[in-house]
Structure formats: C-alpha cells, structure tokens
Amino acid sequence: MTGDFNIRDSDWDPNIHYHSIHMEDLLSIADSLDLDLATSTNPGSTKFADNHYDSNSVLDLVFMNPNNPSFGKHTLNPDIRLLSDHIPLIINVGIKEENIDITIQLIKKDSKEEIAFIGSIIRKVRLIDASDLKSQEDIQRCIT
C-alpha cells in the first residue's frame, strides 16, 4: 500500500514534532492488512513545498508486509520528479514466473486455419442487414 497520504507525523517526518490524529487510523488500517511502514534506503522529503511559507515534508509512504524481501528497499528518486512537487517512490516488485499462468491462442499466419477464420468472418459480416440503420441504437442492435 503506497501513496500520498497527506498526513504529517513525527513517526515518518523528522521535521514534524507532533502526532497527527489521522496517524492512528492509517496505522490501524495497515496493521489490519498485516503491513508495516517501510522506510526507504535513502530517507528524505517526498513532497517539496511550492511556496516559501511551507517546508518540505514526508507525505508519500510505503506500507509492506515485513516478510516481503523488498521490505525497506524502496528508494526516493528526486532526479525524475520533473515538474511534480512529489518525488517518485521506486519499488521493485518481484513476480515469480511459476505464479503466472499464460495461455496463448493463435492461428498461424497464412495457414489453412487463418484462411478459414477470415472467410467465416467475411461471410458473417455480409449477412448483416445494414439497410435501415438510422441511429446509434440501430447500429448497436445490429451488431449484437
């Protein structure tokens, strides 16, 4: 679970000297999902103030399962924030190949199956009576 939570709190921002009333709710939700707050490998502000009255702050947070091998390994990348006032959080998500079911259905190009398939589509399209189409509803009715 990650994002801009817009909660200023001393638990994740060393420039804040108080606890937010919303911090407990956020931590409770994370706990209910078995997630803990993960600190980045290069901690720092995640939101830059857009005026001289505010200060930079940590509003973008990452919560992960502490047993995840990527826990605490995300990084802040200020070099690619461009015009945004938030820094991108870079998180590597490992996907094991054995967890991905891939089904590929294809017809080989220029095969007898392809010729038959295209022929059946052409025959069905030719059977469509489009002589009395006057509205979007007529077209929808015709194609279903």
Report the run of H or E that residue 142 belongs to, with start and end.
helix 136-143
- Residue pair 2/75 in contact (Cβ under 8 Å)? The answer is no
- Residue pair 59/26 in contact (Cβ under 8 Å)? The answer is no
User: Tens of pLDDT along 66-90?
Assistant: 888 888 888 888 888 778 888 888 8
Q: Tell me the residue type at 131.
A: S
Residue 71's pLDDT is 83
- Residue pair 50/85 in contact (Cβ under 8 Å)? The answer is yes
- Residue pair 13/46 in contact (Cβ under 8 Å)? The answer is no
Task: Give the predicted TM-score (pTM) of the model.
Answer: 0.60
* Domain ranges within the chain, ordered by starting residue: 1-95, 112-143
